[in-house]
Amino acid sequence: MPRPFVSAKEAAALLGKAVFVDARAEPGADRAYGAGHVHGAIRADLETDLSEPRDPSDGGRHPLPPVERWLDLIGRWGIAPSTPVVVYDASGGGMAAARAWWMLRAVGHEPVMVVDGGWDALRRAGVPIDQGEPRASDAGLGPYPTAVDRWPVVRADFVERVRTDPTWRVIDARAPERYRGETENLDPVAGHIPGACNLYWQSQLDDEGVLDSVATLKERYADLLEGVSPDRVACYCGSGVTACHLLLTMEACGLDGAKLYVGSWSEWCRQGRPGALG
């Protein structure tokens, strides 16, 4: 199985051999793509491609789109089972390159990698840059072939059952002040799922958005899991996006099998479920 991360230099060597996906999701990301993106990169919009917003009490603020719509989309992008895919964003993978990575892996696509350091690292590496707005892409492929007919996620009732089970870990990927409930500007209730521990996804990156060493990551996860098997880990965040960065870094450490609670805090708190502060 390919490594889940690739350096900007290694990514540059894949131009013309891989499908590049620009998953920048910060405010103004569409304009930023028009001003400059990796040569030939497809634009993946968090709101319209990587999610299908509806009532946030059922799926959170960024619920996943229907699997069949995703399979049709990536087929139109020219992604077949053997196609290498390179995804990048401007935030070290957490907004929302890791989400695109997880969605591809979830339907069985293995040759997919996130650029370590993202857009800034790619520019420093001197990759060819295009300008212009995204165009509708249709590579002539049908829907991506897979036996997957539903997203492999865990739901709120499941998290409710395991959140106090010592043989499980529920991990919150949000900033510590949001986990503690000191601030909350996106959801109507502050706090976290009782029993969850906190590992801020950005704490795993340096000032340039480059990932900590695998040795450092392994040590951090060993301290957090305390022997709990990685396939008994459920990760969440505010809306199921940055939690994917934890799944990505866990796989980089060889800790496969962790689960995504995609509804995350935005769903949990709107369902009137218990919350904790501090």
Instruction: Name the average pLDDT for the chain.
Output: 96
Q: What are the contacts of 126-130 at 24+ separation with CB within 8 A? A: 126/12, 127/8, 127/11, 127/12, 127/15, 127/38, 127/39, 128/15, 128/38, 128/39, 129/36, 129/37, 129/38, 129/39, 130/36, 130/37, 130/38, 130/39, 130/40, 130/41
Residue 84: band (very low, low, confident or very high) from pLDDT cuts 50, 70, 90: very high
Mean pLDDT for the stretch of residues 268-276: 97
Could you check whether the bond before residue 96 is cis, i.e. omega within 30 degrees of 0? yes
Please identify which of the residues 235, 237, 244, 269 carries the catalytic annotation.
237
- State both tokens at 205: 């990156």
Residue 19: band (very low, low, confident or very high) from pLDDT cuts 50, 70, 90: very high
Mean pLDDT for the stretch of residues 249-278: 97
Does 209 have pLDDT greater than 80? yes
Does 37 have pLDDT greater than 80? yes
What does the pLDDT read at residue 3? 84
What does the pLDDT read at residue 252? 96
Going by C-beta distance under 8 Å and a sequence separation of 6 or more, which residues neighbour residue 48?
A: none
What does the pLDDT read at residue 134? 78
What does the pLDDT read at residue 79? 97
CATH architecture of the domain formed by 156-271: 3-Layer(aba) Sandwich (3.40)
Residue 1: band (very low, low, confident or very high) from pLDDT cuts 50, 70, 90: low
Q: Which helix (H) or strand (E) holds 179?
A: helix 176-179
CATH architecture of the domain formed by 5-130: 3-Layer(aba) Sandwich (3.40)
Instruction: Collapse the DSSP code of 37 into the 3-class scheme (helix H, G, I; strand E, B; otherwise coil) and give the result.
Output: strand
Share of the chain above pLDDT 70, in %: 99
What does the pLDDT read at residue 136? 66
What does the pLDDT read at residue 190? 98
Q: pTM of the entire structure?
A: 0.96
Least confident among 8-17, 20-29, 132-141 = 132-141
Does 89 have pLDDT greater than 70? yes
Give the CA angle between residues 107, 108, 111 to the nearest 5°: 120
Per-residue pLDDT tens over the stretch 121-179:
999 999 999 999 877 677 778 999 999 999 999 999 999 999 999 999 999 999 999 99
Mean pLDDT for the stretch of residues 3-7: 93
Per-residue pLDDT tens over the stretch 90-133:
999 999 999 999 999 999 999 999 999 999 999 999 999 999 98
Does 223 have pLDDT greater than 80? yes
Question: In which residue ranges of the chain is CATH 3.40.250.10 found?
Answer: 5-130, 156-271
Q: Is 197 a catalytic residue?
A: no
Which one, of 256, 247, 248, lies nearest residue 115 by Cα? 248
In angstroms, how far is CA 278 from the centroid of its own chain? 26
